[in-house]
Amino acid sequence: MLDTLKQAVNPYLPSWEYVPDGEPYVFGDRVYVYGSHDFFNGDVYCMGDYVCWSAPVDNLGDWRYEGAIYRKDQEPGNDDLQGNLYAPDVAVGPDGRYYLYYTISDDCTVSVAVCDTPAGKYEFYDHVHYKDGTLLGKSGKEDPQFDPGVLREGDKVYLYTGFCGYGDKSRRGPMCTVLGPDMVTIEEDPVFIAKSSAYSSESDSYYGHEFFEAPSIRKKGDYYYFIYSSIKFHELCYMMSKDPREGFEYKGVLVSGGDLHIDTYKPAEKCAYYTANNHGSMVQIKDDWFIFYHRHTNGTNYSRQGCFEKLTPNADGTFKQAEMTSCCGLKPLVGKGEYPTYIACNLFNDIDMTYVAWSGWMDDRFPKITQEGRDGDENYGYIANMRDSATAGFKYFDCKGIKKISVKTKGYANGEIQVKTAWDGPVLGSIPIGYANVWHYTSADITVPDGVNALYFTFKGQGHLQFASFVLE
């Protein structure tokens, strides 16, 4: 399995790592991703300290742990650790240092930490403030601050913030505030660049996809791209403008955590993976653009993992919505060897369900990706609770001469796993499944057509199956 995982797969970090809200940047010859830090079996969002991972631009399957870069107790007044570190962003200052912008869960201001290197030990620097010292978020002129996204151009830093619950009239929309060269002092007061759902109308280009949270900003050519999570939660949308403070027009969805709106392999509004919120951004790596986002695991809102997909640009500067894949939208995975099931990009059953339960946990009717042990234990993830009709999909493989497939399973289950190349396609063959107390392999002679294919595994039978990996031979 280690050989197969040297390829770029989703999630791109080890299956025991939970780093959502990813903001990717290329510094030098490496891609660095900054995000919040969930725990396996976490009780709430963002329970951990900030960690950083990086990969060489030439090999997006070779991610390196850079360590913890900023701790919760470094925020002034957070010695009791009651404030969790929410989604951060990073910008390089005029002085060449790296500035980390963040909010904590029990405050409405923007904090900034600084470091001489992209992934070194950051130290608290200051809070974003007006020239009179009043903190942004405390003046009464703006909405509470949340999810900072930053872009520096020359001596100006454009800071985008906001959280707008559906129909909440106390939140007016996402804000843009201009900071000066010290990276924290406000030079131009906040302006609202779009309306929240409480104030939008059908004349607004983003109607039905209004801003919810997760503001992020990028520039490509002459255009600023404002990326955000919409009121639908699962989708990362974007608007474009040639002015960073006004004129943003909605352009579409970059990625959906359930592949909603994608109709290339299923009906457009069929949800192909259980969703909740989403957060991420775009980055150019060499000649290509990618969208980073996160998925939900363990049947809960609070154990999220980072994924990314390659984007397909259009001539007018827009992008096609990226399809969720196991191979990050890059070259297909080698159609030989053993693959862990935690790289499933599709997971569903015959019960239509888009969101994980609002209580935080899904009930036992639905499959989920999980792991054994506790948070931090380096155990491969697997799919648990596959009941009758549960389907796991993996895209895509370069299939050549596959004549046999084995599956690694356990659990109180009796039936078969059907193998297909489309979620609703013909069954290529079935692998018998019986009751098992420990992980074990069962096999069947199954021929997969040569070429680039998806692989779908559907359990048919009684009981609940745990599904760890499959082997292509």
State yes or no: cis peptide before 70, omega within 30 of 0.
Answer: no
Question: Which distant-in-sequence residues (6+ apart) come within 8 Å of 109 by Cβ?
Answer: 103, 127, 128, 135, 136, 137, 138, 145
Say how far apart CA 328 and CA 308 lie, in whole Å: 6
Find out whether 326 and 305 touch, Cβ atoms under 8 Å: no
CA distance 348 to 221: 39
Q: Residue 261: how many CA atoms within 13 Å on its side-chain side?
A: 16
Q: Using alpha carbons, select from 439, 459, 452 the residue that is nearest to residue 394.
A: 452
Is the C-alpha dihedral spanning 358, 366, 86, 277 positive or negative? negative
N- to C-terminal Cα distance for the chain?
13
Instruction: Locate 257 and state its tokens.
Output: 């955590």
- Looking at 328-462, list the stretches that DSSP marks H as alpha helix, in order from N- to C-terminal side: none
> Is 21 annotated as catalytic?
yes
Per this entry, what is the length of the chain?
A: 473
Q: Greatest CA separation found in the chain?
A: 74
Instruction: Report the distance separating Cα 465 and Cα 385, nearest Å.
Output: 5
Q: Which two tokens stand for residue 69?
A: 């870069």
Is the CB of residue 259 less than 8 Å from the CB of residue 273? yes
Q: Other CB atoms closer than 10 Å to residue 144's CB: what's the count?
A: 16
Contacts of 263 (CB under 8 A, 6+ apart): none
Task: Give backbone dihedrals phi and psi of 343, rounded to 5 degrees, phi first.
Answer: -85, 10
106 is a catalytic site residue: no
Say which of 38, 147, 213, 235 is annotated catalytic: 213
- The active-site residue out of 17, 21, 89, 259 is 21
Catalytic residue IDs: 21, 213
